[in-house]
Structures are given as C-alpha cells and as structure tokens.
Amino acid sequence: MRKVLFVCVENSFRSQIAEAYFNKYAPSGWTAVSAGLTPAERVHPNAVRLMHEEGVDISRQKPKTLTRELQEGVDVAIIVCSGDQCPVVHARRVEEWNMPDPAGMPLEEARRIRDLIKARVLDLIKRLQEG
C-alpha cells in the first residue's frame, strides 16, 4: 500500500480534511494519514461540520503526532499549513500547499478553504494516477 501523509501544526483541521478527502477518492493501492507537530486534543468542530456537509464523518478522528515512524515509508508528504510553524517533513516527495488556517475563520471562509483543499487533493490524485 502506498501512502500520502498530510501534515500541519495541530492536525485538527486542514490535514484532517485533506486525509478524509484523499481516502474518500483514493486510487487503488493508496491511502492517506495525517499528523501535526503539536496535535490538538480533538478535531476542530468546524472541520467536522464542514466535512459532514460533504457526507464524510471525521468526528471519530483523533489528532496524531508527527513522528519519524509515521514518516517512514511515506511516498508523498503534503505540508498543508503556511507560516514559520510548519513542520519539516522527510519523505521521497514533499509538496507545500500553504493553506491559511481556517480554525479562527467564520464558517463561510472556512468552507472556501475546505473546497480549496478538496480541489488540491483531487489534483494530487490525478497526478498520482498519471504516474
């Protein structure tokens, strides 16, 4: 099984959404996980709400710590956050998406970030399928 790792600071919003979309639309033989440098205690309620709108339940997801073990064997790592706090990730291929943090945004603005993440995930899947 090939693996994509989505990374941000708290693993409570952007990376959780990206992981959920990737796993919903994943090509055969691929899976995704997500993690953060300083994981929050829970997934942000607005992330849960926004994904519920998409028919995806992430309410049982738990933020995870970015560890060396989690990075081992990753085919692609995506850093979804922006700014100085973003983690350094060790993987064969690393992309930086520089997404603003929707945690403090009004729901409508956070919805736009969710939609942008979805578009980027679908583009990533297309590129993976093309080789």
pLDDT one-digit tens code per residue, 63-107: 999 999 999 889 999 999 887 778 889 888 999 999 999 999 999
Nearest to 47 by CA among 77, 87, 10, 88: 10
Q: What is the pLDDT, as a whole number, of residue 91?
A: 87
Indicate whether this model's pTM tops 0.85: yes
Q: How far apart are CA 45 and CA 38, in angstroms?
A: 18
Q: What's the domain range around 117?
A: 2-130
- Known catalytic membership, residue 109: no
Q: Integer distance in angstroms from the first to the last C-alpha of the chain?
A: 15
Res 23: pLDDT = 98
Q: Which of 31-35, 109-113, 116-120, 127-131 has the lowest mean pLDDT?
A: 127-131
Q: What six digits make up the tokens of 46?
A: 């607005």
Q: How many folded domains does the chain comprise?
A: 1
Pick the catalytic residue from 33, 86, 94, 105: 86
Name the helix (H) or strand (E) containing 67.
Answer: none
Identify the active-site residue in 7, 48, 51, 81. 81
Is 37 part of the annotated catalytic residue set?
no
The verdict on whether 78 is a catalytic residue reads: no
Going by pLDDT thresholds of 50, 70 and 90, the confidence category of residue 112 is very high
- CATH (domain of 89): 3.40.50.2300
For residue range 21-69, what is the model confidence (pLDDT) as tens digits? 999 999 999 999 999 999 999 999 999 999 999 999 999 999 999 999 9
